[in-house]
Amino acid sequence: MNQQQLERIASDTFQKLFGLRASFVQTELTFYGCVVFLVADKQKVVIKFSKEMGRLAKEIQGLERLSQIVDCPVPAIYFYGREEGYDYLVLEWLEGQSAHELPPEAKAIATFGEHYTDILLALHECSHEKGFEVDADSFAPTLSEAFEHWMFPVYRYLMSSASPFSTQLKDSFERLWASRQQVLAPINHGSSLVHDDCHIGNVLFDPKTYKVAALIDPCDVGFKHREFDVFHLYDVRPDLNLADIYMKKASLADGYQARRWFLSLWDDAKHSRNIGWYDEAWISNKFERYYQECA
């Protein structure tokens, strides 16, 4: 992505929407795209660009759904557009610091951990009588059926000649795919509404109270299983022990530690299909951790 081009698009969009010339506060290149922070007088916005076509349309839906459920702010949506081949989303600028910057102090860690896990638990208490969401207004009664719907396109890409995956990793994923029903059997029923990318890089905290200030950047919000959120709690700042705090409040089915790596591996495969990301050593290490838990 061309940073200067995106900053120009963001600046022009800001002026058209608000009639003001903005100053650039910060531009961040992210895993899935680019985020530009703009300010003029009292008007402050965040403008997001995505590498993946259709990603921001899903985010709009996700933010709207979360705003109806969670007991903390989520960004309001001001505008959704497309310019020079880039989708972009103009969002409310919410105050707070990224939770990956949470200070390593006992009070900060305890306060944030309790509050954030309570928010996730409330989200996960929302279930759907029809089961697991596969499309808008379409559900599967079991997780294994829904998982096949979500992940078969990923598996097909991964095994194709167009994917960057080595022969060894393709063999490993082929075995992983074959084991899906057995691995998912303990959690095959009981859906939960999930954020689907809830690592703390996607959470803001209040630096005065250490409580959650906002929930941002949802991925594929929908009725899945709570474990699709829980495994993300290890992704950033594992020293906060958020998964352990969560599991003290809500017990998970037997075999969770193996499913944690199973779900994480398929999440990586999804990222590869969506934006071409690939790190063989990273993925191989996860397979080793998965095999250790299955032993």
The DSSP code sequence of 154-176 is HHHHHHSTTS---HHHHHHHHHH
Confidence of residue 137 (pLDDT cuts 50, 70, 90): confident
Q: Where are the alpha helices (DSSP H) in 201-279?
A: 227-230, 242-249, 256-275
Average pLDDT, the chain: 95
- Confidence band, pLDDT 50/70/90 cuts, at residue 53: confident
The per-residue pLDDT for range 273-288, each reduced to its tens digit, is: 999 999 999 999 999 9
Q: Where in the chain is the domain with CATH 3.30.200.20?
A: 3-92
Q: Which CATH class is domain 3-92?
A: alpha beta
Q: Which CATH number fits domain 97-294: 3.40.190.10, 3.90.1200.10, 3.40.50.300, 3.30.70.270?
A: 3.90.1200.10
What are the structure tokens assigned to 10, written together?
A: 């963001």
Among 156-160, 227-231, 257-261, 272-276, the minimum mean pLDDT is found in 272-276
How do residues 244-272 score in pLDDT, each as one tens digit? Answer: 999 999 999 999 999 999 999 999 999 99
Task: Quick: pLDDT tens for 181-205.
Answer: 999 999 999 999 999 999 999 999 9
Query: Which residue do the tokens 């958020």 mark?
Result: 242
pLDDT of residue 52: 84
C-alpha dihedral sign at 94, 63, 272, 126: positive
